[in-house]
Chain A
């Protein structure tokens, strides 16, 4: 039964080994399931979120994985619209990673809101001025696009392929993938941007507020840029991880190099703009609010070092690594560069979410601390478990890596 589902010409581990491999991820899912049930039944008092930390671990996680999942739309864009053929070898992986990130994020959001059953009110009673409405619309639509991008791959499973109408449907979908890639790109640009806008528009929170262009604050554009800079890096990392775990070469090096180069260049551009933005914020918005730059860091554990770390250590350095051909050709440096790039972006999302809320705006307000509960960790980690599981299943049963057979000839 199991072997019949495995794509032809590739080698997979035994069902037993695979079963044991999934166990930790299933455990994470179980943990997440229990946490989710508690949160849904008893309410959000199960978390350590509060009136001060209205957004917390989940939102950081959400933003981070959505940014990292940007590899999907951006690789799609490069592959189908720009026509970088070498990326066809990695596009499936990118799509799956994207799908995992986005579906995981949406599921988390479903638990994060206080009235999940009424979540659809966002669409029904939409307030078009709200960045969050924009985010919701785009993410929901884009999740649909990702699903459409994912479906042809599913349909390539040897057993499903046997059903003729489904096979034909899959092939047709393949044919028009460019349209979806374009749609996805458009949607993604918007929601990545809106996520940035989410913070940038909070004009009463000087730590997050940014001036901008038309209705979009600068964070709108910076978030897009940072997402497309980090997304490909994350795709590389995930694929490299898959390679390490399967002990196979799955993707030709060229695809990695292309992605790394693009990632590096975009990161370079992003960092330059981010520095400009930060300077503008320090010398514009901050004094206008009656604050000196260091006032933000008077209390609590979040110091200016976070900013140094984000821009300097995890911004400039990975950009240099990824832009240096000799460095990115070395496996170690490539992975280091990508890892640092992704860390930088997670740090950025963390800062915007947690530090923004942690810093008191009223002079007499106090600094509050926040530590997530096990329920919050459970749900966050469940997304990781879910990711590993879905990716493993996809890898096992679907021809995710078109070049796998070529790179790993089965030795009889």
Chain B
């Protein structure tokens, strides 16, 4: 048969019809359906042996107990632990999503690197650890040889008193530079309040578990304040249907936050006037005679008028409050009706165990010192200090001190130099180094006094509430070394990166979780082997120290970083007490006699092994009673008037200009800028489901953002509908929020719960580094915060910035 066109068509048609009666079409149909069920680009998680590892989360100072589920060597889920005293089984969103920080390679440094691209672009090249350490030690050695060790500076974001932090300080001492700077946090304010009023340079402990009236001045209890696992867990317990002892929670805040809404009462005081409100309450308590006379008479100083040794007359707290803070006056300052202040004061004072707490938002940032003192004086008025449900005066954890750092002549000379940007005096007598001043000095122009800056466990380029001053300062520093495990904003500016492990790859301590009222030492363990060529920053410091000329070796006699942690923990053993197992039935915050005696440990080594296994060491309150009796102020009493401060100022030849300097009082925050130009106030707020610390945000958390918080790349400013109306703004309108420091562009979210005249921006958005999950999403309020200095503490005033709105 000839294959002409006709036959060809016949053949094709015949063939096509014929195929239909074969199984082939059916087989193909079935096969491609099966193919869609097994698409090769849909991942198939590897199977393996299931296991779980108990540890402690060190991603925030709250330190929750965690249990990491593993499949072979892979960690697949982080869950809460029930045998840990902080969190009753639950976790916060960050902890829950933290594996995305471990396993997202795009946001991590996979090994030591040096910068090859322009600064800020994040282009780096791999180098070896040897080379990296050689570069760094070489630079330090050169500066030391030139007798300019003070040209080295370090910024430290590790928790206060953590071994990592101590080691960094030690390194700086050995090098001989006074330029050791800490990232401001609430810890700073807390400690200063504690020192001035109670005489202890340690964290403040709140016995919330036993309180029956909680008066919170802006604390984001549900936004991540303190140890979030503890507070959120408590919240649940308080609201248990069977719980008959639910405390009354009153939230003082200008915005209907989650805490304000869920609290029993919301008091909307104008932002920055909380101190006045606290003193207004104090006024009512004193005037109505509702204060704890016994406590005031026997255990406080500065309440009544007194004559000092120089016959100078002092008004005293009572006189100050009664003359200056009548409810009427306070109403004018705060906007809170006078009757409300009176009733609030009465219900606070009449409660059995009332506690007034302070610390704005999550507490990642500092607060106002005087304001915190005002709030704390309420606790003293009702005498609820060192009593169940009050503020407890605890000693620091009995960790062993590191031996004195041996100094060589270069170091000795260097340490005597004035720190960069230092200005100790009446405006900040207790802070030698302030990061904000350091930044100002660096960005002032001219040759940089700092030639080598090391950044540890911090991302100040993103977190500093300073209108971009930190970023300008970084630009001025010739050489920056980052120890961050993450490709964050600060690391992007670095010339050399010596990446730390991510928290799950190393041992990390939680030394007294923020706000907790019983001694607790948490220890997070490496739950997975390090994924990349990273190195524990502690080890890196030890290795660096060995490469430094002369001075170093004897200052760092330890082999490994763990050795130092174990060395310090010997102090816990020597304290002769403490437990390493926690049973939910026997909470350490109970004031009842603790049935179980302190565990006996054979040796400090034995104890350390046990701590490593369980992840904790703690002492029940019952074992602490003896420790919490005395105030360690110069007067030995709770001080409404800080004699320590008075003495300090006299030492500095800056005698207090008035009594007010040493006493809790209200002063309007932030210098009144041109109010016609900036008639509104920008108040940033924290969200528990958005990471605003130095860590990146796990992408899972993006799912929890509400539609009115982020739309594509635009974040929102919450504004009261009336304010919006005055500016002709509607929901979703684009608007520029402008302050002296700069401007950011956001969308408008109309929110009835926003105070009129205030613009609210969330912390945690607006990253310029990391990867596509975070980069360029929303704006960072820090960029427009015009940071004034908080009187006395010198820390930035970030909670209120005068702004203007410009419709785009």
Contacts and interface: CB of A to CB of B under 8 A. Distances in A.
A/B contact in complex, CB under 8 angstroms? yes
B658 interface: no
Contacts of B35: 117
A121 B29 CA distance: 11
Contacts of B707: 366
B22 interface: no
Contacts of A117: 32-33, 35-36
A370 interface: no
Interface residues of chain B: helix, strand, loop or mixed (majority): helix
A121 B33 CA distance: 9
A115 B29 contact: no
Nearest to B31: A117
Nearest to A121: B33
A129 interface: no
B724 to A, nearest CB: 19
Nearest to A116: B36
Interface residues of B, number: 7
Interface in B18-43: 29, 32-33, 35-37
A118 interface: yes
Contacts, number: 12
A166 B37 CA distance: 43
Nearest to A115: B36
Contacts of B29: 120
B34 to A, nearest CB: 9
B750 to A, nearest CB: 13
Interface string B29-73: 100110111000000000000000000000000000000000000
A115 B707 CA distance: 29
Contacts of A115: 36
Listed residue (A117, A121, A366) with the most chain B CB atoms within 10 angstroms of its CB: A117
Interface string B403-436: 0000000000000000000000000000000000
A306 to B, nearest CB: 25
A124 to B, nearest CB: 9
B264 to A, nearest CB: 23
B744 to A, nearest CB: 26
A120 B32 CA distance: 12
A154 to B, nearest CB: 15
A115 B33 CA distance: 9
Contacts of B32: 117
A118 B30 CA distance: 9
Contacts of B37: 118
A121 B34 CA distance: 11
Contacts of A366: 707
A121 B30 CA distance: 10
Nearest to A118: B33
A59 to B, nearest CB: 22
A117 B33 CA distance: 6
Interface string B689-716: 0000000000000000001000000000
A118 B35 CA distance: 10
A39 to B, nearest CB: 15
A47 to B, nearest CB: 18
B27 to A, nearest CB: 13
Contacts of B33: 117-118, 120-121
A120 B37 CA distance: 14
Nearest to B37: A118
A299 to B, nearest CB: 13
A366 B35 CA distance: 38
Interface string A104-129: 00000000000101101100000000
A108 B32 CA distance: 20
A61 B566 CA distance: 73
A69 to B, nearest CB: 27
A120 B30 CA distance: 9
Interface in B756-807: none
A35 B32 CA distance: 22
A122 B626 CA distance: 75
Contacts of A118: 33, 36-37
Centre residue among A115, A118, A120 by max chain B CB count within 10 A: A118
Nearest to A119: B33
A185 B458 CA distance: 75
A298 to B, nearest CB: 16
Interface string A352-368: 00000000000000100
A108 B356 CA distance: 65
A358 B33 CA distance: 33
A118 B38 CA distance: 12
A309 B22 CA distance: 54
Nearest to B36: A117
A66 to B, nearest CB: 25
A120 B36 CA distance: 13
Nearest to A368: B707
A366 B731 CA distance: 14
B25 to A, nearest CB: 11
A405 to B, nearest CB: 31
Nearest to A114: B36
A2 B29 CA distance: 38
Contacts of A120: 29, 33
A163 to B, nearest CB: 12
Interface in A112-148: 115, 117-118, 120-121
A118 B37 CA distance: 9
A117 B34 CA distance: 9
A144 to B, nearest CB: 14
A365 to B, nearest CB: 11
A117 B37 CA distance: 10
A129 B33 CA distance: 24
A272 to B, nearest CB: 44
Interface in A309-365: none
Interface string A368-412: 000000000000000000000000000000000000000000000
Nearest to B707: A366
A101 to B, nearest CB: 26
A26 B229 CA distance: 64
A250 B32 CA distance: 47
Nearest to B708: A366
B76 to A, nearest CB: 27
A115 B37 CA distance: 10
A285 to B, nearest CB: 30
Interface in A64-94: none
B569 to A, nearest CB: 51
B59 to A, nearest CB: 32
B20 to A, nearest CB: 14
Contacts of B36: 115, 117-118
A118 B36 CA distance: 8
A256 B470 CA distance: 82
Nearest to A366: B707
A215 to B, nearest CB: 30
A117 B35 CA distance: 9
A54 B473 CA distance: 52
B346 to A, nearest CB: 37
Interface in B342-358: none
A280 B32 CA distance: 48
A120 B33 CA distance: 9
A366 B706 CA distance: 12
A30 B384 CA distance: 80
Interface in B612-643: none
A117 B32 CA distance: 7
Nearest to A120: B29
A164 B299 CA distance: 119
A115 B32 CA distance: 11
A117 B29 CA distance: 8
For the complex of A and B, the 7 pairs showing the least CB-CB separation, nearest first, are A118-B33, A117-B36, A117-B32, A117-B33, A118-B36, A115-B36, A120-B29
Interface of B: 29, 32-33, 35-37, 707
Given A117-B32, A117-B35, A118-B36, 7 more contacts: A115-B36, A117-B36, A118-B33, A118-B37, A120-B29, A120-B33, A121-B33
12 contacts: A115-B36, A117-B32, A117-B33, A117-B35, A117-B36, A118-B33, A118-B36, A118-B37, A120-B29, A120-B33, A121-B33, A366-B707
